[in-house]
Every structure is written in C-alpha cells, then in structure tokens.
RNA sequence: GGAGCCGUGGUGUAGUUGGUUAACACGCCGGCCUGUCACGCCGGAGAUCGCGGGUUCGAGUCCCGUCGGUUCCGCCA
C-alpha cells in the first residue's frame, strides 16, 4: 500500500465525507473496546478519530490495529464518514467526522514514553528537557513553536513591505570589553587568539547603514555569557532593525506599527492609536521602574512637601540629606497580618531599603508603629496624599531617589500580583524615552553606557559629555509590554568627534578606543548617514504573546538555568587532541 | 558567587511524634468488552525513597555534605 498521506489529521472535515483518504501521524490515544478499536491519530494540525471495525476490515488489518500503542507512527487508509447521531465530539476540530479504516501500516513502533505526552506540563523539567523531542509533541509546545513561526513570518512580511533587507552578519566576531561577558571561541589558525560570539550585531548593522543599504533587519541569534533567568537564555533571538536618514520618531513610529501588526495578525487584538510615551524620569517617579507595568495603578507618591518639618528622625534626616520620602497605597491590604507585613519589610531590605514604614488606614485613625512620632497633620497628609481609605495599607520608604524607586517599584509589582490587581488579558504597550546616556558604575569607578556606547546624546546635551556626563540624556527608546522590556533602540552617533567624546566619557584613552573601535570610527569619515534602530527580544515577545512565564517554553531546545542542554548533554569535555590543536591547556 | 523551594515505582503525588508488608491516581502488561472519545470492568508487574556520610536498636522521615531541576538577588539591556 502507498502509505503517503492525502490529508492532515487535523484537516479532515465534513466536506470530505464519503471520500477515501490516507492520514499519517502518531497514536495519541487508543480505546480498545474488544470488538472495535478507536484511535485518535495526531499530527501538527490536530487529532482525528480512526475507527477499526472488524466488519469492514480484513482480519489481518484488525490484528495489526490491536497491536497499536501510544506514540506508534502509522498510516491509515479509510473512508471519511459523518459520525452517527449524537456521537460528535465538540472538543475536537474534526469531531463531526471519523475515518473508517480500510488499511493500516505501522511505520514505526514506539516504546512507552518516559512521561505522558498529553500531561507533560506537570512533569519534572529535567526529564522533559532530556526528552525535549517528546515534550515538543505536546499541544502546548507545538502551539508555542507555531506561534513563534507566525510572529517571525509577520515581522518579515511587515519589514519586507517597508523596504527592509534581511542581511546576515557574522557569528565569529571580535570580543569587546563593553556590555555583557562574551562567549569566546578559540582560533585554530591563530593559536592564542579568540573570536567572540555576538551579543548583538550592533556595529555590523551600523556599518551596513554606512554601506548604503538604508534599511536592514535580521532575526538573529545573540549570545551572552551571563547567569540565566526564566526570561534569559545564553543564546536568544532578536528582531534587529536599523534605518538610515531617520530621527527617533521615525523609528518609533514604524516599529510600533510593526508590533501592532504582529499582535493583530497572531492574536487578533487591535491596539488603538499611538502607543503612549513616557520619559524615563516620569517612569521612575510614578512607577519606580524603567519598564513600568501600566496595567494597574498603585503609583508612587513623593511626600517630602508635607513632611519638611517632621520631627520624626528618619524623615528629618532623609530630608536634610536631600533624600526622598515616597510611598504607595496597597489598597485593601490593611488586613495583612503582622507576618505578611514583616515579609514585605524583609523584601524591602533585601532590595536595599533600610526599613519599610507601614500604616494601616482605619476608620478615622491609622495603625502604625511610627504613628506616635508623627503629628496628626502629618498623618493626615500622608493618608490624603496616598488617597488612603479604611482597609488600605500605606507603605513608605525614606532614602535616595534611586533606592526609593527601586524598592517601592518592586513592592508595587509584588503587591499588584498578590492583590490580584493585574488584568492578564491586557496588552499594555508603552514607550520609555529620554534615557540617561551614562550611568555611574561604583564598582568600576567610571561611567558606563546605559544603552551602548554608540547611542547619540540629545543634541542639546552633547556638551554635557565633557562637563557633566551623568546628566546627559540619550536619543534612546525602550518598548515595554506589560512591564517587560520588549525592545530597545536609539539614534546612533554618526559623527566621529561625538563618538570620541563618548569614549572619553566612558574612560577610554584615545589609544584604547582606537585599538578596539578604530575601524568603526574610521568608517564615520567616509560618509556616514544619520541612522538609528532597535532590537526586540524575540523570545520574550513570543513568551508574552503565548501567555507563558518562561522563554524556555517558546524555544525549541532551551538550556537549563545552569546553562546545560540536557538532551545533547552540553557543554562537555573535548579530546586532548582538540585542545592540542588549539594550543589550549587546562589550568587544573 | 549568594538565598529559597523541589527530588519517593515509568509519571504525578501521599507517607503521622523516626517503628516492622512504602499508599493512591495515571501509565504499563494480561484477560473480558461492537460506539468509545480521560472508554469501562477484572487481574498483575513495577520503588534499595537523587547520591554520599552521620545520629539511632531502627531513617523515606532527623543532621551534614553533594548532585540535579527551578525561582529570586548579584550579574545581564
């Protein structure tokens, strides 16, 4: 028998009733009633019920059907029939029909899998990762991987329509000291020298602009040798974009169209109007975060004004040293037990606060360990400023702007979740703009690029590079979705002298800058167009669209938090001869 | 580098103040069953409780260490 399929399992519908079809797939489940066998056959497109009825079959075929077990790979030839009255299965796309088998070929038998494919979600993750190819058979992962493909396809459609070219850039490049730790690759041809895997194709895409390609994109793998998280893998994918002859608004305008296009196409959700913009400063003031989750309120409030004359020592010393007293209102959390409040305090301290002040609002009064140190006017001021109602819990932190932002911003997220204030069905997009260009790194004792060293300062802030670098703002923009940084980009420096100032501000000597980035700065001297771009975290985007909480769920073959691939068992030692060839010797 | 949680038949879990045959569900194997769809009914096999050490007459249970997974902090745009 020719076993090759005529139709996909998931595509066998009423219109085919009466027709002979051949389907190929995996046995999802079998129900052997003795005289009659039902099998749900699975492929990428869904399930279809096969009926093995001895009255319609050769004995030999029925005997074969009795051998079927879960995950056997088979080909079935049969007639599509409408199911008898009352026998339709509304849970199945193909539930109105079934295939009455005439012939069966077992293409591949299967051992009993180490876990049930249909219930893989609860199984220990190390087992699922070892048998990733089996877990990938589950509907959840298939859906995620299919969604991933659709998003990539829609991104390409949109960018292609808009005159972008997809251009590949090298994977073996030069290590640079800025940013994350590089993965390095030894060179056999040049013993003692190393390539690095790209953290992003940043300089290459800028050089492509200088080459005149005008609009570039790439759905590209990037590598960072840093510790992992639920949303961080050592290799991950970006939608990388760069455009010439543009200003910030041009990039943001087009890219928000792209994201809205993708969300519309794959989720059917229309996002109205332009995506809201917020400056970095405003985000920090209102949400204590540079990537605020705007799906709920609980905004931070600064309370210095009414507490200027407070005699409470914590407040007085904070204000006299130029610090801030800021708070949030955890609505309805007044019922928290002492233990729950202690846990919040513990978190606050872990995040850098010296303490957490709480105030439970009650009918006409407040309950708080610091109430006795405050005047009635001060208490009223705090309650009113935070719009406290009976039953609310007010939480205050007194410290620097940075610490109060950090701590209250995180508490806000924690409480928003605990109190069920987050509407999981919302897609809240937000642009955060006017980023600081540089941040002071206490450890390194110098400024480091907040974004990367090629980000252009605002025109009016260029001078600050030499006078007060910490105050310089950048032509940078981040797109935030539900409190997750989806992507970030900037208008780039395209003038050699500005780029030199930037390196100088970062503490590079001219020699260092030249040896690391000389080729790049030289390129600016041969006619560089104004340009800018953006890169989106592709895996994170898929994770959010798929409603998952780990990017491992949207990557076909992910690594564990200790950066291992449990399926291929990598990393692994190599032969002595391989090391020899590379002139590499182990230290221990 | 640090902290938390998890680890018991193939899978998911239960396992009392440490006590003798480690329980349940799913899966698997066998039997019965012609309209099931998480089929049903009957029977069966399957576990040195992640690994190592310690306390104890006795450890799945207590202690120490270690390995693996995971979440978070540091790190990372």
pLDDT of residue A178: 81
Rounded, the Å distance between the CA of A229 and C1' of B41 is: 49
Nucleotide lying nearest to A558, CA to C1' measure: B69
Better pLDDT: A309 or A40: A40
Rounded, the Å distance between the CA of A72 and C1' of B3 is: 46
Overall average pLDDT of the A486-515 stretch: 92
pLDDT of residue A563: 95
CA dist list (Å): A221 to A236, A313, A402: 6, 53, 34
Rounded, the Å distance between the CA of A563 and C1' of B51 is: 22
pLDDT of residue A177: 81
- Is the distance from CB of A292 to CB of A328 less than 8 angstroms? no
The answer to whether strand B lies under 7 Å from the CB of residue A343 is: no
CA dist list (Å): A559 to A100, A140, A228, A393: 43, 18, 9, 41
The answer to whether strand B lies under 7 Å from the CB of residue A29 is: yes
Nucleotide lying nearest to A115, CA to C1' measure: B11
Nucleotide lying nearest to A54, CA to C1' measure: B34
Rounded, the Å distance between the CA of A371 and C1' of B7 is: 47
Rounded, the Å distance between the CA of A336 and C1' of B17 is: 32
Question: Poorest-confidence range of A106-110, A246-250, A264-268, A504-508?
Answer: A504-508
Q: Is the pLDDT of residue A428 over 80?
A: yes
Query: Using omega within 30 degrees of 0 as the cis cutoff, is the peptide bond preceding A44 cis?
Result: no
Round to whole Å and give the CA distance between A128 and A136. Answer: 9
pTM of structure? 0.93
Overall average pLDDT of the A165-169 stretch: 98
Q: Is the pLDDT of residue A486 over 90?
A: yes
pLDDT of residue A58: 86
ipTM above 0.85? yes
CA dist list (Å): A206 to A200, A294, A454, A492, A524: 12, 33, 9, 8, 10
The answer to whether strand B lies under 7 Å from the CB of residue A119 is: yes
**Structural element, H or E, at residue A486:** strand A484-491
Q: Is the pLDDT of residue A186 over 80?
A: yes
Rounded, the Å distance between the CA of A33 and C1' of B42 is: 15
Round to whole Å and give the CA distance between A399 and A402. Answer: 8
Nucleotide lying nearest to A199, CA to C1' measure: B77
pLDDT of residue A200: 95
Rounded, the Å distance between the CA of A181 and C1' of B75 is: 9
pLDDT of residue A15: 94
pLDDT of residue A272: 82
Bases of chain B below 7 A from a protein C-beta are 1, 10-13, 26-29, 32-40, 68-77
pLDDT of residue A407: 92
Which A residues 186-215 have CB within 7 Å of strand B?
A: 199-200
The percent of residues above 70 in pLDDT, for chain A, comes to: 100
Q: How many alpha carbons lie under 13 Å from residue A324 in its C-beta half-sphere?
A: 18
Q: Is the pLDDT of residue A73 over 80?
A: yes
Residue in the structure block whose two tokens are 């005997």: A63
Overall average pLDDT of the A516-539 stretch: 95
Rounded, the Å distance between the CA of A562 and C1' of B27 is: 31
Give tens-digit pLDDT for A365-409.
899 999 999 999 999 999 999 999 999 999 999 999 999 999 999
The answer to whether strand B lies under 7 Å from the CB of residue A34 is: yes
Mean pLDDT estimate for chain A:
93
Contacts of A300 (CB under 8 A, 6+ apart): A285, A286, A287, A288, A326, A327, A328, A404, A405, A408, A409, A412
The answer to whether strand B lies under 7 Å from the CB of residue A577 is: no
The answer to whether strand B lies under 7 Å from the CB of residue A69 is: yes
Rounded, the Å distance between the CA of A346 and C1' of B4 is: 13
pLDDT of residue A429: 94
Grouping H, G, I as helix, E, B as strand and the rest as coil, residue A282 is helix
Residue A309 in tokens: 């004359």
- Amino acid whose CA is nearest the C1' of B37: A89
Residue A581 has φ and ψ, to the nearest 5°, of -60, -35
Give tens-digit pLDDT for A74-121.
999 999 999 998 899 999 999 999 999 999 999 999 999 999 999 898
Round to whole Å and give the CA distance between A203 and A205. Answer: 5
- Is the distance from CB of A16 to CB of A10 less than 8 angstroms? no
Rounded, the Å distance between the CA of A570 and C1' of B74 is: 25
The answer to whether strand B lies under 7 Å from the CB of residue A258 is: no
* First vs last C-alpha separation in chain A: 62
Give tens-digit pLDDT for A298-356.
999 999 999 988 989 999 999 999 999 999 999 998 888 887 888 888 888 888 888 89
Which A residues 471-530 have CB within 7 Å of strand B?
A: 485, 488
pLDDT of residue A588: 64
pLDDT of residue A390: 95
Overall average pLDDT of the A26-48 stretch: 95
Give tens-digit pLDDT for A217-243.
999 999 999 999 999 999 999 999 999
pLDDT of residue A439: 87
Question: Poorest-confidence range of A242-246, A273-277, A521-525?
Answer: A273-277
Q: How confident is the model at residue A206 (pLDDT cuts 50, 70, 90)?
A: very high
Strand-strand pairing, A184-186 and A446-449: unpaired
Rounded, the Å distance between the CA of A30 and C1' of B4 is: 43
Contacts of A158 (CB under 8 A, 6+ apart): A257, A258, A261, A262
């Amino acid at each position: 028998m020719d076993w090759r399929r005529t139709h996909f399992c998931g595509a066998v519908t009423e219109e085919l009733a009466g027709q002979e079809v051949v389907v190929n797939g995996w046995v999802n489940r079998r129900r052997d009633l003795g005289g009659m066998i039902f099998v749900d056959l699975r492929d990428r497109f869904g399930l279809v019920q096969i009926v093995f009825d001895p009255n319609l079959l050769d004995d030999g075929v029925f005997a074969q059907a009795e051998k079927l077990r879960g995950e056997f790979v088979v080909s079935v030839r049969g007639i599509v029939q409408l199911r008898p009255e009352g026998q339709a299965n509304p849970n199945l796309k193909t539930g109105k029909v079934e295939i009455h088998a005439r012939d069966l070929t077992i293409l591949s038998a299967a051992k009993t899998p180490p876990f049930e494919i249909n219930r893989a979600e609860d199984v220990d993750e190390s087992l699922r990762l070892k048998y990733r190819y089996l877990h990938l058979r589950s509907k959840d992962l298939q859906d995620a991987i299919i969604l991933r493909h659709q998003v990539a396809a829609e991104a390409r459609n949109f960018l292609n329509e808009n005159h972008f070219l997809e251009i590949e850039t090298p994977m073996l490049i030069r290590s640079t000291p800025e940013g994350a730790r590089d993965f390095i690759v030894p060179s056999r041809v040049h013993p003692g020298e190393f390539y690095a895997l790209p953290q992003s194709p940043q300089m290459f895409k800028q050089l492509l602009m200088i080459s005149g390609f005008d609009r570039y994109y790439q759905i590209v793998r990037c590598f960072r040798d840093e510790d992992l998280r639920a949303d961080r893998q050592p290799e991950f994918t970006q939608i990388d974009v760069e455009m010439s002859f543009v200003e910030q608004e041009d990039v943001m305008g087009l890219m928000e169209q792209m994201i809205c296009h993708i969300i519309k196409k794959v989720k059917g959700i229309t996002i109205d109007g332009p995506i809201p913009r917020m400056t970095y400063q405003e985000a920090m003031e209102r949400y204590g975060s540079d990537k605020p989750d705007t799906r709920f309120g609980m905004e931070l409030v600064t309370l210095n004004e009414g507490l200027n004359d407070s005699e409470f020592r914590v407040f007085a010393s904070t204000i006299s040293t130029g610090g801030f007293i800021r708070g949030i209102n955890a609505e309805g959390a007044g019922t928290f037990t002492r233990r729950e409040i202690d846990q919040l305090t513990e978190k606050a301290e872990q995040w850098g606060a010296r303490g957490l002040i709480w105030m439970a609002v009650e009918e006409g009064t407040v309950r708080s360990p610091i109430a006795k140190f405050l005047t009635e006017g001060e208490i009223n001021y705090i309650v009113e400023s935070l719009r406290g109602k009976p039953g609310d819990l007010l939480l205050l932190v007194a410290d620097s702007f940075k610490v109060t932002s950090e701590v209250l911003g995180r508490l806000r997220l924690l409480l928003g979740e605990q109190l069920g204030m987050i509407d999981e069905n919302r897609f809240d997009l937000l642009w955060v703009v006017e980023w600081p260009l540089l941040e002071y790194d206490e450890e390194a004792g110098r400024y480091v690029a907040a974004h990367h060293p090629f980000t252009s300062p605002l025109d009016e802030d260029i001078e600050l590079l030499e006078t007060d670098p910490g105050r310089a703002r950048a032509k940078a923009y981040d797109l935030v979705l539900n409190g997750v940084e989806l992507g970030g980009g900037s208008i780039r420096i395209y003038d050699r002298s500005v780029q030199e100032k930037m390196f100088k501000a970062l503490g590079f000597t001219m020699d260092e800058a030249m040896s690391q980035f000389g080729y790049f700065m030289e390129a600016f001297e041969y006619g560089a167009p104004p340009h800018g771009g953006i890169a989106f975290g592709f895996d994170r985007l898929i994770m959010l669209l798929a409603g998952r909480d780990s990017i491992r769920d949207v990557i076909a073959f992910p690594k564990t938090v200790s950066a291992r691939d449990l399926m291929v068992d990598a990393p692994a030692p190599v032969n002595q001869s391989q090391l020899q060839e590379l002139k590499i010797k182990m230290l221990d």
